[in-house]
Amino acid sequence: MTRSTIKIKTTLLDHQIAQLSAIAIGLSLMESVLPSPMPGVKPGIANIITLYAIYQFNFKTAMWVSVLRVFATSLILGQFLSPAFMLSLIGSMLSLLTLYFVIKLPSKFFSPIGLSVLSSFAHITGQLILVRIWLIPHASIYYLIPIYSLAALLFGFINGWITYRLLKHHNSI
């Protein structure tokens, strides 16, 4: 019997995606053990990596990092295909979609801070819509909109600021 080795040819882009994803997964896992005052109110620090990727590399890299992070984190935490996973997925997808458009805005006026705020608003919008039509089909969740919006602004700002500092440190802005 001859031993066969399967060798996958990896590109530099693959390595970059893998490295960034690893950091994002690590951050997500760290965040998952943090206590939260309300279900769903989380800092979303893994989004720093997505933002960093879109600035430092391109949208495709950011998309891969984000998707891999969502799938890997849910598999590690045993939440794959659970409501938590679905919420995470739809949030990230809408966030990415928003980033796809807003990254085209002139960087003279818009920094990662503004983009981060917009993407966290997109994140929470997707989640609230999913909760409304699937998990809690009741109008009472509208009570939560102000709280989640406030959290989105606060954490979006902080994450954006951290990304800004990171990019500045790496001389990419």
Partner 1 sequence: MSTLRKKIVLKLRTKFFVGDSLIILISLIFIVFAFKAFWHFETGSVVQVNFQGNTYGNFSLFQDKKISLIGKEGESIIEIKEGRARFKSAPCKNQYCVQQGWIHFTGQMLICIPNEVSIEILGKSKAYDSLNY
Given the rule CB under 8 A, which residues bind partner 1?
105-106, 109-111, 113-114, 117-118, 121, 138-140, 142-143, 145-146, 149-150, 152-153, 157, 160-161, 164-165
Closer residue to partner 1 in complex, CB, 24/117: 117
Closer residue to partner 1 in complex, CB, 53/118: 118
Cα separation, 28 vs 67, whole angstroms:
13
Find the helix or strand (DSSP H, E) in which 158 lies: helix 145-169
**Closest CB 64 distance from partner 1, rounded Å:** 26
Closer residue to partner 1 in complex, CB, 45/151: 151
**Closest CB 40 distance from partner 1, rounded Å:** 16
Find the helix or strand (DSSP H, E) in which 103 lies: none
HEC-encoded secondary structure of 33-44: CCCCCCCCCCCC
Closer residue to partner 1 in complex, CB, 56/119: 119
**Closest CB 148 distance from partner 1, rounded Å:** 9
**Closest CB 107 distance from partner 1, rounded Å:** 9
**Closest CB 51 distance from partner 1, rounded Å:** 13
Cα separation, 11 vs 9, whole angstroms:
7
The pair of structure tokens assigned to 110 is 């818009």
Closer residue to partner 1 in complex, CB, 28/163: 163
Contact 143, 99 (CB under 8 A): no
> For residue 91, what are the contacts with CB-CB under 8 A and spacing of at least 6?
122, 123, 124, 126, 127
